[in-house]
């Protein structure tokens, strides 16, 4: 009998091979999981007999071709899904949802419900997490609080609505670990967290370990640009910060949550459950690289590979949405697809792809597609991946001050090296082994809006940044960019950041927040596209940059090409800067070398130049550009120390460049409009009865059609067009 069955299976394998199917998962299984109607004693292999818990899923011996499906509309609380198994190229391991086509994704929540509120004093209420229905749900407390699924603000002093963006000011810095503020309330601040701005681009975390009148002693010292006197800070994680409706504080010593409320707390309250003792011990975030879903291959027989994670919602986690906590014991995870996920209000990073054991990597052939990440505090996506794709993701509300908890943007309590925190997408390479991190990635068709720091931040080589929409960056910190490439590695000859292309992106409203900044120049400091500090052979082509508070496109101590871009309305923050700025930080060395062709630089502020170069030889060649500035006659500048300002004719004479370039041929002001298409399909705009003119004085009337990720500057001189009624 056995031989007969063996022959049948052999024939089946031969037949499948002839049909072109290899590694067919004969024993693949689909498992169903329902928190509302399941039971872990069920078989789990049908919708009528589903499992109930994620713990049961984590215990399964999954094989290539298996599917694990979670029921739409169900919710699991404080259970982390561990992805430790692998599929094959022909039989992927899939984690998804059922029934097919559902819109109410299964929710894997990092929060538990909190009940048992009672009056503490006045308008402050408390809930003991150790008693009643709360008992055993919160092993290490909480770090976020929600009411009816809306994130509540952690109490802070000063309030975010107070002057200077809610920052108080350091009046004295008697020692590196001490700050004095003459406005500080006279209470014992021990245990509170201080968040000082120390540079335009940093917001640190320090724990108060001593209070003497209005001087605080911190657990670790701080240094600031030009000295810390005059720089700003705010305090949270303390009961005395509660004075506005909805503000909260968690006391780890008593395991109690306090809430300021003008009426008795009503509605559903949830707290993000801290699942690691290291959080309160101060090792956070570096000891906690995991998340609601963990791609965790530590101790596995083989790397996690050929896995798809899709159609699930992760919300309210105390750390990351999806994380990769393990090292490379058995190789590097790869060929993992994360798609159609919703990740909301996590205290850490939405998708965190970083694994290290001797060297840091984020996996290869990773596909991060069509996810929505909303409200993460550290990064939207932080990755050390290579040969990977990040496409069609929506990333918004990242690293905003109003959402931050005790660890703020994710710096440790002694850290001084987290300058990039608050980015929407950050791609980095390992500092010692570049072959397994950060290179040959494609970042395309992502929508990035309302971001604490940079929109897209690249610190590696051979990456493509194409057709992304980036709007509203640097809400929390300044001196960044909508899209940035940065090396900071010593010299052009030794740089590891090179051969990256930034093309066809639309970057709008680069804010560059400088609240709490203590240096003399407190003007907003936002750039559209930055290529900085020894980045080599970077192509910036076909982009549209609109409304930057400082610089439109910056090349600083870097080389590359600027071709076919439109930069519209830069230097809105009050500092004299340019649509295109070529800058050498070193004197007299000239490292920046750039080719400039077929660009439009249109200025709307007297504080803006169309072009500024530190040295004339920063420009390799420049031609066929539009330098339009109806508000300033001498709109091109060059020189360091002594700056020469001139018009296009003077620039031609000094540089020998731009023989075929143009400048504005009109004197009218406030007549320009920019139209842009931030979608993947052609888009038409109705122009009504206005007859516009383009920059070559050619008429444009009735309608305008733009191809994907393109723009057009038009001029309105008050002329009228006659258009068909159907337009």
300: pLDDT strictly greater than 80: no
Average pLDDT score over residue span 596-612: 97
DSSP 500: -
DSSP per residue, 140-189: T-EEEEEETTEEPPBPEES-TTSHHHH-EE--EEEETTEEE-TTS-SS--
Between 230-234, 517-521, 559-563, 678-682, the lowest mean confidence (pLDDT) is in: 517-521
Task: Name the band, by pLDDT with cuts 50, 70 and 90, for residue 24.
Answer: very low
C-beta separation of 545 from 524 below 8 A: no
DSSP 700: E
DSSP per residue, 437-471: SS-S-EEES-EEEEESS-SEEEESSS-EEES-EEE
Gap between the Cα atoms of 543 and 315, Å rounded = 34
Query: What integer pLDDT is reported at residue 17 of this predicted model?
Result: 36
Task: Name the band, by pLDDT with cuts 50, 70 and 90, for residue 282.
Answer: low
Q: What radius of gyration do the chain's Cα atoms show?
A: 28
Cis peptide before 227 (omega within 30 of 0): no
Task: Name the band, by pLDDT with cuts 50, 70 and 90, for residue 1.
Answer: very low
Percent of the chain having pLDDT more than 90?
A: 84
Gap between the Cα atoms of 601 and 295, Å rounded = 46
pLDDT digits (tens, 9 = 90+) for 628-649: 999 999 999 999 889 999 999 9
Predicted TM-score of the model (pTM): 0.95
Gap between the Cα atoms of 211 and 168, Å rounded = 17
188: phi then psi, degrees, rounded to nearest 5: -80, 110
- In 10 A of CB 5, how many CB atoms? 9
Q: How is the beta sheet containing 269-273 ordered, strand by strand?
A: 111-114, 269-273, 142-147, 150-151
- Give the CA count within 13 Å in the CB-facing half-sphere of 172: 10
485: pLDDT strictly greater than 90: yes
- Give the CA count within 13 Å in the CB-facing half-sphere of 425: 33
pLDDT digits (tens, 9 = 90+) for 243-252: 999 999 999 9
Task: Name the band, by pLDDT with cuts 50, 70 and 90, for residue 7.
Answer: very low
Give the tokens for residue 120: 């503490």
Gap between the Cα atoms of 506 and 488, Å rounded = 26
684: phi then psi, degrees, rounded to nearest 5: -105, 140
pLDDT digits (tens, 9 = 90+) for 521-572: 789 999 999 999 999 999 999 999 999 999 999 999 999 999 999 999 999 9
Query: What integer pLDDT is reported at residue 10 of this predicted model?
Result: 36
CA distances (Å), 517 to each of 159, 381, 401, 596, in order?
17, 27, 15, 34
Bridge partners, residue 561, by sequence: 539, 595
Query: What integer pLDDT is reported at residue 521 of this predicted model?
Result: 77
499: pLDDT strictly greater than 80: yes
Average pLDDT score over residue span 684-712: 97
Query: What integer pLDDT is reported at residue 14 of this predicted model?
Result: 35
């Amino acid at each position: 009998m056995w031989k007969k069955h063996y022959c049948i299976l052999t024939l089946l394998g031969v037949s499948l091979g002839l049909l072109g199917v290899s590694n067919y998962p004969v024993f693949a299984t689909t498992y169903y999981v329902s928190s509302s109607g399941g039971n872990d004693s069920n078989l789990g292999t049908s919708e009528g007999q589903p499992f109930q818990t994620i713990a049961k899923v984590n215990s399964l011996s999954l094989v290539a071709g298996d599917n694990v499906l979670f029921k739409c509309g169900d919710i699991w609380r404080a259970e982390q899904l561990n992805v430790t198994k692998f599929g094959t190229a022909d039989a992927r391991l899939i984690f998804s949802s059922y029934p097919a086509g559902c819109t109410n994704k299964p929710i894997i929540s990092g929060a538990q419900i909190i009940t048992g509120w009672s009056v503490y004093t006045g308008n402050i209420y408390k809930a003991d997490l150790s008693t009643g229905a709360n008992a055993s749900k919160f092993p290490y407390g909480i770090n976020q609080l929600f009411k009816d699924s809306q994130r509540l603000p952690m109490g802070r002093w000063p309030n975010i609505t107070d002057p200077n963006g809610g920052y108080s000011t350091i009046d004295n810095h008697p020692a590196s670990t001490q700050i004095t503020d003459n406005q500080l309330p006279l209470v014992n601040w021990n245990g509170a967290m201080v968040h000082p701005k120390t540079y335009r681009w940093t917001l640190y975390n320090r724990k108060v370990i001593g209070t003497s009148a209005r001087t605080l002693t911190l657990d670790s010292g701080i240094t600031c640009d030009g000295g810390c006197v005059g720089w700003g800070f705010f305090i949270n994680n303390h009961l005395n910060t509660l004075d506005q409706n909805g503000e909260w504080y968690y006391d780890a010593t008593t395991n109690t949550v306090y809430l300021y409320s003008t009426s008795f707390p009503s509605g559903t309250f949830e707290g993000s459950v801290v699942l690691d003792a290291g959080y309160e011990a101060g090792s956070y975030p570096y000891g906690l690289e995991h998340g609601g879903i963990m791609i965790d291959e530590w101790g596995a027989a083989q790397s996690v590979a050929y896995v798809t994670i899709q159609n699930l919602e992760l919300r309210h986690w105390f750390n990351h949405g999806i994380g990769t906590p393990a090292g490379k014991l058995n190789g590097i995870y790869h060929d993992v697809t994360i798609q159609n996920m919703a990740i909301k209000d996590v205290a850490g990073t939405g998708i965190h792809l970083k694994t290290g054991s001797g060297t840091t990597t984020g996996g290869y052939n990773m596909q991060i597609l069509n996810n929505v990440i909303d409200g993460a505090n550290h990064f939207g996506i932080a990755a050390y991946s290579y040969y990977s794709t990040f496409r069609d993701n929506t990333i918004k509300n990242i690293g905003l001050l109003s959402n931050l908890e005790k660890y703020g943007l994710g710096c440790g309590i002694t850290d001084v090296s987290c300058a990039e925190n608050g980015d929407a997408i950050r791609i980095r390479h390992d500092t010692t082994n570049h072959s397994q991190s950060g290179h040959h990635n494609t970042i395309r068709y992502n929508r990035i809006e309302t971001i604490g720091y940079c929109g897209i931040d690249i610190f590696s080589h051979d990456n493509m940044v194409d057709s992304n929409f980036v709007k509203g960056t640097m809400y929390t910190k300044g001196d960044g960019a909508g899209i940035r490439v940065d090396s900071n590695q010593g010299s052009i000859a030794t740089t590891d950041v090179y051969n990256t292309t930034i093309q066809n992106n639309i970057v709008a409203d680069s804010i560059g927040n400088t609240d709490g900044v203590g240096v003399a120049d407190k003007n907003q400091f936002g750039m559209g596209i930055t290529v900085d500090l020894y980045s080599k052979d970077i192509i910036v082509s076909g982009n549209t940059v609109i409304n930057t508070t400082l610089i439109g496109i910056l090349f600083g101590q870097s080389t590359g090409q600027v071709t076919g871009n439109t930069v519209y309305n830069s230097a809105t923050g009050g500092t004299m800067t340019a649509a295109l700025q070529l800058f050498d930080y070193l004197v007299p060395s000239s490292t920046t070398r750039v080719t400039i062709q077929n660009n439009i630089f249109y200025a709307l502020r007297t504080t803006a130049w169309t072009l500024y170069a530190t040295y004339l030889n920063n420009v390799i060649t420049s031609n066929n550009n539009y330098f339009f500035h109806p508000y300033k006659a001498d709109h091109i500048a060059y020189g360091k120390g002594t700056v020469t300002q001139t018009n296009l004719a003077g620039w031609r004479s000094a540089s020998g460049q731009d023989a075929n370039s143009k400048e504005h041929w009109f004197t009218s002001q406030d007549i320009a409009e920019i139209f842009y298409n931030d979608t993947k399909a052609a888009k038409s705009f109705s122009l009504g009865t206005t007859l516009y003119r383009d920059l070559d004085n050619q008429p444009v009337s009735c309608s305008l059609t733009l191809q994907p990720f393109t723009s057009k500057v038009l001029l309105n001189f008050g002329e009228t067009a006659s258009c068909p009624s159907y337009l």
